[in-house]
Amino acid sequence: MVTLTWLDALSDDSADDSADGAAVRALLRAAGEHDGRPEVDADGPLPREFRGGRHLLATDTDGSVVGYAHLDTGGDAFGNGVVELIVAPDRRRAGVGGRLVAEVLTVDGPLRLWSHGDHPGAVALAKRHGLARVRELLRMRLGPGGELPERALPGHLRLRTFEPGRDEDAVIGVNARAFDWHPEQGQLSVEELVATEGESWFDPAGFFLAVDGDDDRDRVVGFHWTKVHPDGIGEVYVVGVDPDAQGGGLGTALTLVGLRHLRESGIDEIILYVESDNAPAVAVYTRLGFTVAETDVSYQR
């Protein structure tokens, strides 16, 4: 018999030194090994989507955690609570996911629940609970081979890399203006960026800034933050351009800077995530050779 328990906090969200924290981290890592996601380090901070908020644990009679749902109570930019839900790989198709979803839906207020990979089981659960498919996030892939076009930064802008302790405020400012329409990305804070700098994959050498001005008084107008996953896959993690600098090809130029960096680092496979209804961005990535590999779906009641 599985027992469901809400926790307002794990004993320590950034370490696994508590029974609950260790069990949740172990579950997330087992799911990551089975599914390819989420990526969770053996120690250090949990990924952003599992920090803070409320935690729903599904515990078996032997005390093992066999399911977990995280509710981001801060919500997205549109006031929706955001739910990530994971079931242990060896306990799937046994009703654990259905119980977690039913319990999550007792929470008041608008909610959005993620299904990574558009799994048929999630489609069935959504239908059972009357959830609407409201958002699709495409995972696009660029394989090895093929020439990348050359594209210089427009005008008098120049390129440099991110400097921890110097550039956080400027990058977050550009990010907020560039993604004021986005449910999550525009809410990234300086504190979250600093926390991410402590994660094992963070590398400022792959975090490129387009700046206006000289070394001492430059102004950040765009950035391309790349990521290399533990399995060696590269990612166009975030490309952001200040609205005042858009329309001149800066986004494409920065994208190519990061792609060349990843290729020169020996990365054969590169991925990115983009909203399915962002037709201009999808068109740019398609012209660069990216193809859709997978779709993540957000459901809302």
* 67 known ligand binder: no
* 2 known ligand binder: no
Going across the sheet that includes 3-7, the strands are 3-7, 54-59, 65-72, 81-87, 111-115, 291-300, 132-142, 270-275, 234-241, 219-228, 207-212, 158-161
* 95 known ligand binder: no
* 246 known ligand binder: yes
* 21 known ligand binder: no
Q: What is the DSSP track for 175-194? A: HHHHTTTSSSGGG--HHHHH
* 239 known ligand binder: yes
* 237 known ligand binder: no
* 171 known ligand binder: no
* 213 known ligand binder: no
* 221 known ligand binder: no
* The pair of three-digit structure tokens given for residue 42, joined into one six-digit string: 């053996």
Distance CA 249, CA 236 (A): 17
* 101 known ligand binder: no
* 273 known ligand binder: yes
* 270 known ligand binder: no
* 187 known ligand binder: no
* 240 known ligand binder: yes
* 184 known ligand binder: yes
* 172 known ligand binder: no
Binding-site residues from annotation: 85-87, 184, 227, 235, 239-241, 246-252, 273
Binding-site residues from annotation for acetyl-CoA: 85-87, 239-241, 246-252
